[in-house]
Amino acid sequence: MSNTGLQPFILEPISVRKVWGIDGVGERWEISEMDDAVCRIAGGPFNGASFRDLIRRDPDGILGKRIAKENGGRLPLLLKTIMAAEALSVQVHPDDVYARSSGDAERGKTEAWIVLDAAPGAKLIVGTRGNPDRRSFRAALEATGAKAGQAMLESLRPERNLSAGEVGAVFRRCPLGAMLNVIPVRKGDCVYLAPGTLHAICGGLTLYEIQQACDVTYRVYDWHRMGDDGKPRELHVDKAMDVLDFSSVPAVTNISDASDGDVLADSPCFTLELVAFAGEKVIPSAPGRDDAFMIVTAYDSSLDVCRGGARIALGPGRSAFVPAFAAEGVVLRSPGRSRALMARPVSSAAARD
């Protein structure tokens, strides 16, 4: 395949059913080359082609030479939209070392969220409170029964629209709930989650989630809820206890306080940057990261991703993949003021330079 064909393109999202999802659908995998969820190209000269096949034909041109070499020619990131009708499980993700040593995955999961939509009273659980340790946390987990779990889950339902204080009162009556850091959130909130951070997305939220290409989750607690098969979903408490970092309590910022070029999340695996413009914006190369792909997502209004004669129209929440070869000369256009999210991978070699 010639590099001249590598213009920005969009992918057909893959819907994933979840017990906590809206009408049963909890996730849309927007940009994915995961083994069990490979997206297909939507439109353009490669319409209908497998994203994996496209990468295999020219990994350097699609991913970038460094990124392709360091990741065995595989896409190292995964972009999802999370759509939660009720709370997800309380969970944690491993880092690279633990994921490999346990045999669960080739890499761990570092992630960042942007709240795209939030029902009144929507909440997140991020980190712990009260300085628990593994022994006290596990004891609280074992002491939390079904009645308490259902009461906490009920308090988090978006239709209840309970205040943070009201939800806190319910949680404090439960041994585990008293240790969970429950916070109110609103549209535009940004949260970076390092591996080992305890968390749960709660009902009434639609999130942008950029992460390492890993779908390993260690469920700590699932509210004594039944899965689609009528049985409790599997928990992974022992592994969760191995990786939990009780000191990790993420800060929350809001995109309304950010300006063009501000970094919303900066990890060893990816960066997430805000692009704010009126009319037209030329996307500059990132120092040390010019040989890498980009993922551009329209945040709150429609915009066009342009390069040469190619134009990709994006509605709010939709994303375009910009191959490494095409990363130079990308222009965003909009009839008015617009904001976009731009995710780029981080090369381990570039990080050491």
Q: Which helix (H) or strand (E) holds 239?
A: helix 237-243
| Phi, psi of 273, deg, nearest 5 | -125, 145
Buried b (16+ CB within 10 A) or exposed e, 7-39: bbbbbebbebebbbbeeeebbbbbbbbbeebbb
Dihedral sign of CA atoms 64, 69, 74, 75 in order: negative
Question: What pLDDT was estimated at residue 5?
Answer: 63
pLDDT one-digit tens code per residue, 174-194:
999 999 999 999 999 999 999
Q: CA separation (Å) from 58 to 43, 51, 79, 195?
A: 19, 11, 21, 31
Calpha distance 286→7 (Å, rounded): 19
Report the distance separating Cα 335 and Cα 8, nearest Å: 20
Predicted confidence at residue 286, as pLDDT, reads: 58
Residues above pLDDT 90, as percent of the chain: 90
- Could you tell me the pTM of the whole model? 0.95
Does 259-352 match 7-256 at the fold level?
yes
- pLDDT tier for residue 279 given thresholds of 50, 70 and 90: very high
The first and second tokens of residue 94, run together, are 């491993």
Residue 309 pLDDT level (bands cut at 50, 70, 90): confident
Q: Does residue 4 have a pLDDT over 50?
A: no
User: pLDDT per residue over 233-278, tens digit each?
Assistant: 999 999 999 999 999 999 999 999 999 999 999 999 999 999 999 9
Q: What mean pLDDT, rounded, does the chain reach?
A: 94
Residues 207-218 pLDDT 10s: 999 999 999 999
**Residue-by-residue DSSP string for 128-178:** ESS---HHHHHHHHHH--HHHHHHHHHHT-GGG---HHHHHHHHHTSTTGG
For residue 308, name the pLDDT band (cuts at 50, 70, 90). confident
Per-residue CA distances from 323 to 58, 201, 264, 290 (Å): 10, 31, 22, 11
Looking at residue 3, what is its pLDDT? 52
Mean pLDDT of 164-173: 95
Q: Which CATH number fits domain 259-352: 2.40.50.100, 3.40.50.1220, 2.40.30.10, 2.60.120.10?
A: 2.60.120.10
Contact 115, 202 (CB under 8 A): no
Mean pLDDT across 319-335: 94
Q: Which of 328, 260, 340, 329 is nearest to 290 (CA)?
A: 328
Confidence of residue 350 (pLDDT cuts 50, 70, 90): low
Mean pLDDT to the nearest integer, 270-292? 84
* DSSP type of residue 85: S
Q: What percent of the chain has pLDDT over 70?
A: 95
| Residue scoring higher pLDDT (289 or 29) | 29
Domain boundaries along the sequence of the chain: 7-256, 259-352
CATH number (3.90.226.10, 3.30.540.10, 2.60.120.10, 1.50.40.10) of 7-256 reads: 2.60.120.10
